[in-house]
Amino acid sequence: MTDLATRTEPALRRAAPALLGYAAVRALGLIALALWSAARDKSAYTLLTARWDALWYTRVAELGYGYEVRLPDGDVHSNLAFFPLLPWLERLLAAVTPLSYADAGFAVSLLASLAAAWGVFAVTDHVYGRRAGVCAVLLWAVLPVGIVQSMAYSESLFTALAAWSLYAVLTGRWVTAGALACLAGLTRPVGIAVVAAVWAAGIAAAFVRNRADTAADVEDTSALSLRRALGLALAPAGTAAYVLWVGHRTGGGPLGYLDVQAGWRNGFDGGYAFARFVADKFTSFPSALAGAGLIVGVGMVVWLYVVCVRQGQPLPLLVYAGVVTALALCASSYFGSKPRLLMPAFPLLLPLALALSRARTRRSVVVVASIATASALYGAFWLNGSGPP
């Protein structure tokens, strides 16, 4: 334990400016939400912990799986669509503390968001340096949908696991990378993006080492290969275990989870439904502005990914961001949730973080503060709306 503390303390000190800045941005968002909600006679805490997906997670924590809602149009919304790690943690925390399941979900989300911010910093610091790492964390915090990082949703937990798994890959800790990828796969369906990143990096590393290190010590090479193989074996275990369990429970076989998602009218269609959704916006003038905004937004995401490739980001970051982006943009339903689904793709922010880190400190502070204020107001407006984020 002492050795762990000795290794962690310098890393925490190095990340402190990023974490303090992140906490300040999130506090601003929560204050804005509280004031906006109070003005509308709503409970900000309820919006954060007991609506939409948060409510589904707490029901899983309290009652287990098997709850479903049958809609008038015949659709079946089953709680099997929600992966188990967050409700497991909610149940565990509620069992050992006086917190309710909803309170536990909020606490897990807050702690996970700090862990995610630290992970984003660690990855960026490793690739581009400390200043860029601080900027990356602040940019992730001020995303327009950043308020979700403080909700009892699974995005913060997933991003934390994904970021630290990617950091473990970048630093050659294969077993740790695989174990964290396994947990990410128990958190959200997009956990396959972390698995893909670990596998791509592992295969590439094995190929390069076999070609360039023929004179290496056989024992050391074998030990490294064994750790890498173990990490690669662990990585998909979480996703595979849950998907196979759902298939067994529903009687749908290995693809039973897809049937559960179909009950939510959710699936992967290559972006066809989303393209139609955008095209339909151009049927009238007011909605055409929204359609144009969606096109610009998607274009920005694609452009950022191209810049990431051109800047030579490490392979695992490119694979991870690419898969997260593809799954978010090509899902066939819940178009209003796409910004939230893109939030874990933090490597897309690294070109912007690098540019911001090269600007003068005063200019960077003004830019971040301005965006943080706009993000806080937008988050308060967004959560007080009628639909789920």
Residue 6 in any domain: the answer is: no
Q: Measured between alpha carbons, how far is residue 23 from residues 26, 88, 111, 135 in Å?
A: 5, 26, 11, 14
* Token pair 């911001």 in the structure block, residue: 356
Tell me: the pLDDT tens digits for 71-91?
888 889 999 999 999 999 999
Residue 208 in any domain: the answer is: yes
Confidence class for position 219, pLDDT limits 50, 70, 90: very low
Tell me if 33 sits within 8 A of 383, measured CB to CB.
yes
Q: Measured between alpha carbons, how far is residue 37 from residues 28, 33, 34 in Å?
A: 14, 6, 5
Residue 13 in any domain: the answer is: no
Q: What is the DSSP letter of 78?
A: E
Tell me if 145 sits within 8 A of 389, measured CB to CB.
yes
Tell me: the pLDDT tens digits for 222-269?
778 899 999 999 999 999 999 999 999 999 888 899 999 999 988 888
In the chain, the number of structural domains is 1
Hey, which residues does 78 pair with through a beta bridge?
68
Residue 103 in any domain: the answer is: yes
| CB-based contacts of 175, cutoff 8 Å, min separation 6 | 227, 230, 231, 234
Residue 5 in any domain: the answer is: no
Residue 249 in any domain: the answer is: yes
Tokens describing residue 212? 């360039």
Tokens describing residue 112? 């996970």
Q: Quick one: pLDDT at residue 216?
A: 46
Residue 134 in any domain: the answer is: yes
Tell me: the pLDDT tens digits for 155-184?
999 999 999 999 999 999 999 999 999 999
Residue 7 in any domain: the answer is: no
* Token pair 């309820």 in the structure block, residue: 46
Domain that holds residue 62: 19-383
